Structure 1
């Protein structure tokens, strides 16, 4: 990975829909050269995909919770990620040290919606049980961290 690759990654992080011309301009390359470099970054796994970032407020998802996830067996982080990635209410997940195997950050429309999403998490193969904490208010947010 060199400075050009890093410039390409910064560009697509800012805008995953950037054109090859825009990516090339950001990295000092022609559009065809930017495409080749971007394709290589995807092929090597440095870039795993492109996504849309949805504002939860636009969905009117105002109920927020954290789940401690306790797994059965010994699933790998990749297996746990695969189990959680199709649950749209799961916005972030981490493996952690301590008694829990993972912590999951969830957003939902309301408590019934949250309860349904928690049930879907509990129904995944590696999850044995969860413990939930509902967020009452956000006290501090540091964007970009």
Structure 2
């Protein structure tokens, strides 16, 4: 991906509803040239899709927390993924360095709901133990592709 492609991706990451003409005016290309580049980036897998960002609180998910998973021996990342994928409360999950094997971001309607989700995840056969923290105030959230330069 060259610098021009990165600038296009950054513009789309900021607002995927922007027109190709608007993006083209920003990066110095015609609308058809921007579309060709976006089509190529999608075909190459650099752009995997377009989505909408929704405030979890607007959907009634008022409580956010992170759960560190400490897994039983020889638990594969695929097994962790399969075990967590069925929880609608799980917003993201990643394997990590350090003592924990994975970290899971959870949104719940309230503290009791978070506790129930935590208990269910802790009861998964691959989980040895958990450690959790609750988010008091999100300080910074970025949804863009970062700086174009």
> Shorter-chain TM-score: which interval?
0.7 to 0.9
Q: Secondary structure at the match of 2:59?
A: coil
Contact 2:122–2:130 at 8 Å: present in 1 too?
Answer: no
Q: In structure 1, which of residues 130, 139, 142 is the aligned counterpart of residue 140 of structure 2?
A: 142
Cα deviation for residue 59 of structure 1 reads: 1.8
Tell me the secondary structure at the aligned position of residue 58 of structure 1: helix
What's 1:45 paired with?
45
Equivalent position of 2:11 in the other structure = 11
Name the SS for the 2:70 alignment partner. strand
Instruction: Decide whether aligned partners of structure 1 residues 81 and 60 sit closer, same or farther in structure 2, where only a CA change above 3 A counts.
Output: same
Residue 121 of structure 1, CA deviation: 4.7
Gaps of 5+ in 2: none
Task: Give per-residue Cα distances to partners, 1:31-80, cap 9 Å, x unaligned.
Answer: 2211110111112121222221111221232212211123453424x664
Contact 2:121 2:127 in 1 (8 A): no
Measure, in 1, the Cα distance between the counterparts of 2:23 and 2:79. Answer: 33
> Greater RCO between the two (CA within 8 Å, min separation 6)?
2
| RMSD, aligned CA | 3.0
Query: TM-score w.r.t. structure 1 length?
Result: 0.74
Long gaps (5+) in structure 1: none
